[in-house]
Structure 1
Amino acid sequence: MSQGESSARDVSGLRDLVVAGAPQIVADLSGLIRIPSVSWDGFNHAHLDASAARVAELFTATGLFGTVGVYRHGEGAPAVIARREPVGNAPTVVLYAHHDVQPPGEETQWDSPAFEPTVRDGRLYGRGSADDKAGIAVHLAALRALATHHAGDLRLGLVVFIEGEEENGSPSFAGFLHEHRELLRGEVIVVADSDNPSTEIPALTVSLRGNVTATLRVRTLNHAVHSGMFGGVLPDAMMAFVALAASFYDAQGGVAISGLEGVEQSTSGEAPKVGHEAPLAQGVSEVGRGSVPQRLWRSAALTITGMDIPSVAHASNTLLPEVSAKLSLRVPPGMSAGSALALLKDHITRQIRFGATWELHDVSLGEPFSLDPSGPVVGLAATALAKGFGAEAVYQGVGGSIPFISQLAEVFPQAQILVTGIEDPDTRAHSPNESLDLRVLWRAILSEAVLLSELNRREISDLAEVRALD
């Protein structure tokens, strides 16, 4: 039998196993969604412990791993590591996802409860249904199929790494990597935490923006005073903040902070993502200059994601002495997050008005990431995606940030990193009514199972030469 015939038989056999395992993996994913594992401060972190424990149980039950454990670094959130050693010179593949989720936001904006998984019109709704408990489900189901299909001849080394604080900026990630480096080492790393341009077309993400998050505090008065007696004479903190915030943007809505320009890159097959999923109100236009990929993937973006100010219901006729705002600055590939932070500070220093004082605190930096799409395993992964989805994969940039990927590349410089996705344009990750298209779930599972099956035939020395399946 030729390698091509063997590959076709693998795809058929693995597809049958994925279909047979579909009800169980939906049940397992639904159980994980029911655990409100929000990693942000102010939420009950006992749910993170419960989530990690359940993830460990699920991977232990596969019977594939020599060790499965829940680990922490210092005061960090719990992460799960499962490891199976390779046979002979077979490569080791690290499968990453995260079990923590974003806060649900306003429950009234959800059509069904955030932590009660609900299937409607072929989509599974619930916080974490896609980002990123679906990543856990893809790894789990692909491994179940792999274990059955290759019973008796599974040579591949396997590591499952399920982080518990990605949505909170991965504060202990770097230390965790160094502490558990030997458990996590591998030749290929698959990060299942990105998206696809549609439910039909798969993507490999080859660039990601970095991120600078910080809380900006602006103060103008020692205490609040009556707005009738002092308004028009004393500057309140909101006035100073609004003037500063306006200076962040130019007339077209692009970032007006000097020096925050992206580096032009070329990605073959890139697909712009702004379309029907962009919820523009009637009459509202896009912002910024250049093509959609240039603005989303290779340019800076600054968003004010929250503010500490009185609510409308509790507003009084006073001048505010202080306001605070949460800033999220997306950093284009080719620039360090530290450089972007320095440019932001310089801009605030030059643009703050009325002599207001300011400070940035709770600063977190995440570096951007870019991948050479001609890397030796990328073609292999693209072909596996094509077999799983029935459509050619595209190489794309993503405007979001996964800062730990650059840390993975630093700690494991010889590893080849693949960034795959489960989300689609209607997923609404981080928003109310987050959902997962179940067709994408099946296709992603089959794609990963095909990739792992092919790598199971390889030696470590083969990876430098491999480009695509026969």
Structure 2
Amino acid sequence: MPLPSVPLADTVASLIPRAKAELTQLVSFASVADERQFPRSECEKAAAWVAGALRQEGFQDVALLDTPDGTQSVYGFLPGPADAPTVLLYAHYDVQPPLDESGWLSPPFELTERDGRWYGRGAADCKGGVLMHLTAVRALKEQGTVPVNVKVIVEGSEEQGTGGLERYAEEHPELLTADTIVIGDSGNFRMGLPTVTSTLRGMVLMEVRVATLEGNLHSGQFGGAAPDALAALIRILSSLHDESGAATVDGLDGDGHWPGIAYEEADFRQDAGVLDGVGLVGTGEVADRLWARPSVTVLGIDAPPVVGATPSVQATAAALVSVRIPAGFDAGKTAEALTAHLRSAAPWGAKVEVTQRGSGQPFAADTSSPAYEAMAEAMREAYGQEMAIAGQGGSIPLCNTLATLYPRAEILLIGLSGPDARIHAVNESVSPQELELMSLTEALFLRRYAASQSAGLGV
């Protein structure tokens, strides 16, 4: 077959306006997979949109999969040439809550262009990843052929960590079988620096509830002798860190070392927006703390707000605590250790109830595989730079499930969630330039991977 007259890069560039229009539609769905905050219908609309987009591109067997946690994942299959390898493309359409909507400079569920970026909840994490996959496939189709069999799975509860897709995959192991899996839910270490993520920290999410009284009491009449549940909770939470801010939970040793790309402290302070004069927490190099050592974070506290608070001794209080664990740690054992710590740290005999709300195992990839070689070549061509290898502090629970189910499959993590994207925070955004270059990277990768597999088979 003669080579197309139009370069692949030009074809991808021509598709970016369409990607923006479609990302605008997808971001408009407030698809937070938590019915306590947002109606289930928003996630259903997002899932239906993804399914429609796959059908429009000629995907077969498109289905809305009802997963055991009550959410929907979207599946589709696009057949390639005979004897071609199969590549699974993953993303998720569910998003984090917008947090303080007054902190957004534009409405969180309206994609808004500002200062060369597109702002909106999920723009990078991970609705942008959905559009990255679609754009790569479309570009190859316009060039003549998609050289591999493509499976797409778009999850509906990744941000909640409730394990719906993992359990569904375990119950239907044939569905997601592939030679290579591309997880489109990480990001470049720096904008313009093509990066694959080789490790993911696992996650354990625990809710701790403290009770000390039958009901709230007047602080003037009873304060000083009545045990305050909120004060007890504060004592428990403060016990989770030492003076440096490192985790103190037994079994979560904090001496790991990251052997890959360095993360300079000045760069991290700027990326994280650390205020002048405020120190970082933990010990060791920044990369060690982010990618090679456990960390404990208090995500939220149920307590009376300052405005409207009454002079009361609190009878109950609660918090949500997250532990991130690097490769080599086990989520189940971590959950047991955290539960034991929370209970043992309670003062005054306060009643403590601990409930697990989510978990995911850490993940480490084999970066010496043929698929990584094909990705390195694709990134070099798209960006004009060598591929960097970094870790990621976040969790993608499905990765370990797929690695267990398909031990021979190669798993690569790429995406649009670089530091500038500010995922999970207010004013999340995506760079249209990164969307274009990463879509081109993925299209080039699919070509090069198909060619390398054919060469290896002597075709």
Following superposition, the deviation at residue 449 of structure 1 comes to: 0.5
Q: Secondary structure at the match of 1:96?
A: strand
Deviation larger for 276-285 or 290-299: 276-285
Q: Secondary structure at the match of 2:375?
A: helix
What pairs with 1:303-342 in structure 2 (closer than 5 Å)? 303-342=297-336
Q: 1:245 aligns with which of 237, 242, 255?
A: 237
Gap change, CA 1:263 and 1:407, over 3 Å in 2: farther
Following superposition, the deviation at residue 376 of structure 1 comes to: 2.6
Q: Secondary structure at the match of 1:341?
A: helix
Following superposition, the deviation at residue 274 of structure 1 comes to: 1.2
Partner of 1:50: 45
Gap change, CA 1:316 and 1:25, over 3 Å in 2: same
Question: Are 2:220 and 1:228 aligned?
Answer: yes
What pairs with 1:79-90 in structure 2 (closer than 5 Å)? 79-90=73-84
Q: 2:352 aligns with which of 351, 354, 358?
A: 358
Question: Are 2:148 and 1:161 aligned?
Answer: no
Question: Are 2:248 and 1:256 aligned?
Answer: yes
Following superposition, the deviation at residue 66 of structure 1 comes to: 2.6
Q: Answer whether contact 2:91 2:129 (CA < 8 A) is retained.
A: yes
Q: Answer whether contact 2:263 2:286 (CA < 8 A) is retained.
A: no
Q: Answer whether contact 2:57 2:138 (CA < 8 A) is retained.
A: yes
CA RMSD in angstroms, aligned pairs only = 2.1
Partner Cα separation in structure 1 for residue 55 and residue 95 of structure 2 = 22
Q: Answer whether contact 1:187 1:460 (CA < 8 A) is retained.
A: no
**1:368-423 CA-partner distances (Å, limit 9, x unpaired):** 11112222311211221222222211111111111111111111222110011212
Following superposition, the deviation at residue 113 of structure 1 comes to: 0.4
What is the letter of the counterpart of residue 148 of structure 1?
Answer: E
Q: 1:32 aligns with which of 26, 29, 39?
A: 26
Following superposition, the deviation at residue 456 of structure 1 comes to: 3.0
Partner Cα separation in structure 2 for residue 69 and residue 385 of structure 1 = 32
Q: Secondary structure at the match of 1:312?
A: coil
Partner of 1:388: 382
Partner Cα separation in structure 2 for residue 254 and residue 269 of structure 1 = 22
Question: Are 2:111 and 1:111 aligned?
Answer: no
What is the letter of the counterpart of residue 443 of structure 2?
Answer: A
Gap change, CA 1:331 and 1:82, over 3 Å in 2: same
Following superposition, the deviation at residue 257 of structure 1 comes to: 1.5
Partner of 2:430: 436
Partner Cα separation in structure 1 for residue 78 and residue 11 of structure 2 = 22
Following superposition, the deviation at residue 184 of structure 1 comes to: 1.7
Partner of 2:372: 378
Partner Cα separation in structure 2 for residue 431 and residue 238 of structure 1 = 26
What is the letter of the counterpart of residue 75 of structure 2?
Answer: I
Partner Cα separation in structure 1 for residue 150 and residue 75 of structure 2 = 10
Q: 1:203 aligns with which of 175, 192, 195?
A: 195
Q: Answer whether contact 1:197 1:271 (CA < 8 A) is retained.
A: no
Partner Cα separation in structure 2 for residue 321 and residue 243 of structure 1 = 15
Q: Answer whether contact 2:73 2:165 (CA < 8 A) is retained.
A: no
Q: Answer whether contact 1:237 1:322 (CA < 8 A) is retained.
A: yes
Partner Cα separation in structure 1 for residue 110 and residue 276 of structure 2 = 32
What is the letter of the counterpart of residue 156 of structure 1?
Answer: V
Partner of 2:270: 276
Partner Cα separation in structure 2 for residue 168 and residue 52 of structure 1 = 16
What is the letter of the counterpart of residue 156 of structure 2?
Answer: G
TM-score, normalised on structure 1?
A: 0.92
Q: 1:348 aligns with which of 313, 324, 342?
A: 342
Q: Answer whether contact 2:249 2:338 (CA < 8 A) is retained.
A: yes
Q: Answer whether contact 1:263 1:332 (CA < 8 A) is retained.
A: no
Identity of aligned residues (%): 36
Following superposition, the deviation at residue 270 of structure 1 comes to: 4.6
Gap change, CA 1:11 and 1:81, over 3 Å in 2: farther
Following superposition, the deviation at residue 263 of structure 1 comes to: 6.6
Partner Cα separation in structure 1 for residue 101 and residue 243 of structure 2 = 35
What is the letter of the counterpart of residue 122 of structure 1?
Answer: G
What is the letter of the counterpart of residue 353 of structure 2?
Answer: E
Gap change, CA 1:384 and 1:425, over 3 Å in 2: same
Q: Answer whether contact 1:73 1:179 (CA < 8 A) is retained.
A: no
Q: Secondary structure at the match of 1:182?
A: coil
**1:339-360 CA-partner distances (Å, limit 9, x unpaired):** 1112212222332211111011
State how many pairs are aligned: 455
Question: Are 2:163 and 1:174 aligned?
Answer: no
Partner Cα separation in structure 1 for residue 242 and residue 168 of structure 2 = 41
Q: Answer whether contact 1:267 1:396 (CA < 8 A) is retained.
A: no
Partner Cα separation in structure 1 for residue 101 and residue 64 of structure 2 = 31
Q: Answer whether contact 1:252 1:289 (CA < 8 A) is retained.
A: yes
Partner of 1:136: 130
Q: Secondary structure at the match of 1:387?
A: helix
Following superposition, the deviation at residue 86 of structure 1 comes to: 4.2
Question: Are 2:77 and 1:76 aligned?
Answer: no
Q: Secondary structure at the match of 2:438?
A: helix
Q: Answer whether contact 1:211 1:366 (CA < 8 A) is retained.
A: yes
Give the gaps of 5 or more residues in structure 1.
466-470
Question: Are 2:451 and 1:457 aligned?
Answer: yes
Partner of 1:468: none
What is the letter of the counterpart of residue 247 of structure 2?
Answer: V
Give the gaps of 5 or more residues in structure 2.
none
What is the letter of the counterpart of residue 78 of structure 2?
Answer: R
Partner Cα separation in structure 2 for residue 79 and residue 211 of structure 1 = 21
Q: Secondary structure at the match of 2:270?
A: coil
TM-score, normalised on structure 2?
A: 0.94
Q: Answer whether contact 2:90 2:181 (CA < 8 A) is retained.
A: yes
